[in-house]
Amino acid sequence: MLDGGAANRDTRSMGSTGADAGGGGARGSRPGPGRTARRIALAVVVLIVLVAVAVAAVRVLHPPVIGEEYAGAGPGTLGIDGSGDTTPTVGWVEPGRSFFVTTYGSSSCPHAPTGIDQRGTAVEVEMRRQGGPACTADFGPTSYALDLPRRSDPDAVLDVTIRLVDGATTVVRLGR
């Protein structure tokens, strides 16, 4: 009887069965290396998909700014008391090739160009507010220089439509 009992102990202590080695063993046992690798791979794929969706959502909600900040400003005026002409303006940087757009608003949340389209002598510029949810209460000009999608005659007169995301639209004539 002693030998039979020892044989039973030896069998149990000899290792795991085929089911245990693959991670499909009894409840509470650790998953095998193959199962762990699959879980990690699945987690990585899910993480990549989530990051891609987040990046796409940010680009839709906050498209990248086109053009470059421009030191010049349009002919608008702004008095100390807030009075004055703050209508968006445009002007040539290099006639027939590039122009600037000046808008007025908070310096920490300025309107910036995010899209441009040109059809003949009509140019449309989409402007979106930049910055965070809290903006300074100051009010000043911000200008951006933009390249025309297609060069035009330097003497041509263009009608530039400036569309703000809030729905405001201004059409300004650009020419000599």
- Whether the per-residue pLDDT at 60 is higher than 60: the answer is no
CATH number of the domain residue 103 falls in: 2.60.40
Tell me how crowded residue 2 is: count the other CB atoms within 10 A of its CB.
Answer: 6
- Whether the per-residue pLDDT at 64 is higher than 90: the answer is no
Instruction: Say if residue 118 is in the same domain as residue 101.
Output: yes
Backbone angles phi, psi at 75, to 5 degrees: -80, 10
Give every CB contact of residue 154 below 8 A, 6+ residues apart in sequence: 95, 96, 176
Indicate the number of domains in the chain: 2
Pairing mode of beta strands 111-119, 68-69:
unpaired
Instruction: Say if residue 76 is in the same domain as residue 56.
Output: no
- Whether the per-residue pLDDT at 114 is higher than 80: the answer is yes
Instruction: Say if residue 49 is in the same domain as residue 72.
Output: no
Q: What is the pLDDT of residue 121?
A: 92
Instruction: Say if residue 84 is in the same domain as residue 168.
Output: yes
Structural domain ending residue among the three candidates 22, 40, 61: 61
Which pLDDT tens digit goes with each residue over 87-112?
888 999 999 999 999 988 888 999 99
